[in-house]
Amino acid sequence: MLKIIVLIFSVLLLLVGCVANGDYDADIPELNQDTSQNDLSLNSTETNHTQNEDTQNNSDIKTINDERTQYYEPISIDLAEYLFAQLHDIFEEDNGYLWGELLHTPFIFLDTETREIVANQQDPDGTFEKLGNVYLSTLPEHLIAAYSFQDFNGQRWAIMPWDMVVTDKEHPDNILRTMTHMSFHIQQPSLFGDSPGWDTSHMNQEFARVTIQLEVNALLQALRSEGEERVKNIHDALSIRVARRIEFERSKNENIFEVHEGLADYTATRLTKTDIDALLIYTEALAGNLKHVENMGGLFGYISGALYGYLLDETGIIWKEHVRYGIDLSTLLQEAHKINNLLSFDELDLTSYGYEEIVTAEAVRLENYLRLLDDISKMFLQEPTLRIPSSYDSGDMMLNPSRIFQVPGVGEVYGATVVISGIFGTLELYDGYFARSNSTYDGRIIATDMVIEGNRASSSGWLLALEDGFEIRPEGTNYTINTRSN
C-alpha cells in the first residue's frame, strides 16, 4: 500500500501563478549572491568529496535535460536562517490565538541533489550539527528526498526541497505561506485527530465541477459584501452545495478534504496576509484559476475550505473548537447565520456567479480533456514502456494531485512531477506520465529513448536509480524491472 505524499506547494503555485509580494521581502538575503562561506557544508572535506563523486556518477544523466537543474543552488545558510526566523516570528505573533495552541513546527530545508538538510531545531537524538541558528545533517537514505512530512530521529518533520525556495525567490511571502501551511499539517492531528483520508474523484464530473466553481464564486461575493447581501450570497452558496451533494454521495469526503487542506490554507493565509484586501486578492487569484485545473477533486478543498473559515471568522462565533475531520464547515456557517429554506438548483439565479461562462468553459475543457486522454492512451498502448511490478514499489509516492487521470485501457495516470521509491530504487518523473494498472497495480513509464548506465536508467522525462540486486530486462517489445540474475 503506497503512502501518498501530496505536492501542496506545486498545487498552490499552479493555481495562483504569481502573487504580488507581501510584507516579508525586506532585508531578505540575496539568493544568488556569492555565498561561498555560507552554503551548507556538513564537513568541508567530506562533503566536497561526496559532491564530486555525485557529479561524476550523474554527469551522463544530467546532460539529458539541463533545464531540470537550471535552478539548482546549494542551500544558503543565511537565507535559511532568515526564513526560519520569519516563520518563528509569525507563530510568536500569533501566540496560539488562531487555534488555541502554538504552531511552532520542526522544519527542514532539503538539498535533493546531495540529501543535505538544514533544520530549524535540534533533533531529539541530538545528532544534528549546530551552525549559527540552524542545524545541519543528511536525510537518511531510506527516506524519500522530496516535499513531504516524514518521521526520523524521533521527530516528525515538515520537509521542503530547497529548489522550491530558489524557483520562487522573487516572492518570499509565497515561500512563507507554504512553510506556514506545511507547519499546520504537522499540528492537525493534535487539533482534529488522525485524518481518515478521502476520495473526491466525483468532483471531476461536469456537474460537480460547475457547482464547486459557482459555490466558490458565491462565497467570494459573500466575503466582499456585508449585511443582507452577504447572507444572500451565503444562502446561494449553501443551496448550490446541497444540489451537488444530492447528486453525489460523497459529502463526507468533501468535508474531510476541506478541513485538511482548506483549513491549512486558511491558517497560512490568516497568519501571513495582514489585511482582508490582501487575503481576498490571494484567494480570488486561486479561485479564478479553478477552471484550468485538470483534477478538480484534488484542489477545490484548498479554496472552499479556506473560504468557509474566513466567513466563519466574520460571524464572530467560536467555531474552531467544533472542528474535527468529517465536520461540514458549511453547516457551522449556516447555523451561525440561521439560514433555512435552501433553494433547489433550478430556483437559483446564478447569473452573478458566472454560470454561463463556467458552463461554456467547461464544454471547451471537456473536449480538450478527452483529446488529452486519447493521446495518453495511444502513448502507452503504442510505445515501448518500462514496467515496475507492484511488489517492488511498496515504498513512498510523491505526486501532483492536479494531474491525475483515469485513462480507459491504461489505468490511473499521473502527470509529472512524480517520485516513487521502493525496494527497487527510486524513480523521478519530471516530464510525461506514470501509469498504474487498475487490476495489477503495476506501474509503467514510456521507455522510447531509454538509456541504461549500470544501475541507472533515464529518458528525456525521467531518471531511475536501481538498488543493488535489481536490473532492467526486455519483456517482448517492452521492458520490466526484475531481480538481478546470478
Question: 179 and 42 in one domain?
Answer: yes
Question: 349 is in which domain, residue-wise?
Answer: 201-353
Question: 380 and 333 in one domain?
Answer: no
Decide if 343 is inside a domain: yes
Decide if 7 is inside a domain: no
Question: 344 and 241 in one domain?
Answer: yes
What's the confidence (pLDDT) of residue 291?
86
DSSP strand pairing (385-388 vs 478-483) = parallel
Residues of the chain with pLDDT under 70: 1-71, 274, 393-396, 486
Decide if 196 is inside a domain: no
Question: 390 and 288 in one domain?
Answer: no
If one counts the domains in the chain, the total is 3
Contacts of 201 (CB under 8 A, 6+ apart): 297, 406
What's the confidence (pLDDT) of residue 35?
40
What's the confidence (pLDDT) of residue 30?
57
CA dihedral 388, 455, 60, 444 (to 10 degrees): 0
What's the confidence (pLDDT) of residue 268?
95
The cell for 55 is 557529479
What's the confidence (pLDDT) of residue 437?
92
What's the confidence (pLDDT) of residue 300?
95
Q: Contact 242/342 with Cβ under 8 angstroms?
A: yes
Prediction pTM value: 0.81
CA–CA–CA angle 43, 45, 50 (5° rounding): 90
Q: Contact 459/429 with Cβ under 8 angstroms?
A: no
Question: 418 and 288 in one domain?
Answer: no
What's the confidence (pLDDT) of residue 23?
46
Question: 471 and 412 in one domain?
Answer: yes
Decide if 180 is inside a domain: yes
Question: 433 and 406 in one domain?
Answer: yes
Question: 400 and 328 in one domain?
Answer: no
Question: 211 and 178 in one domain?
Answer: no
The cell for 485 is 540474475
Tens-place pLDDT, residues 379-423: 999 999 999 998 886 656 777 777 888 899 999 999 988 888 888
What's the confidence (pLDDT) of residue 57?
34
> 163, 188, 213: which is the final residue of a domain?
188
Tens-place pLDDT, residues 169-208: 888 888 999 999 999 999 999 999 999 989 998 999 999 9
What's the confidence (pLDDT) of residue 65?
39
Question: 209 and 332 in one domain?
Answer: yes
> 353, 379, 407: which is the final residue of a domain?
353
What's the confidence (pLDDT) of residue 47?
32
> 139, 160, 188: which is the final residue of a domain?
188
Question: 464 and 377 in one domain?
Answer: yes
What's the confidence (pLDDT) of residue 135?
98
Decide if 60 is inside a domain: yes
Decide if 17 is inside a domain: no
Question: 206 and 176 in one domain?
Answer: no
Decide if 222 is inside a domain: yes
Decide if 1 is inside a domain: no
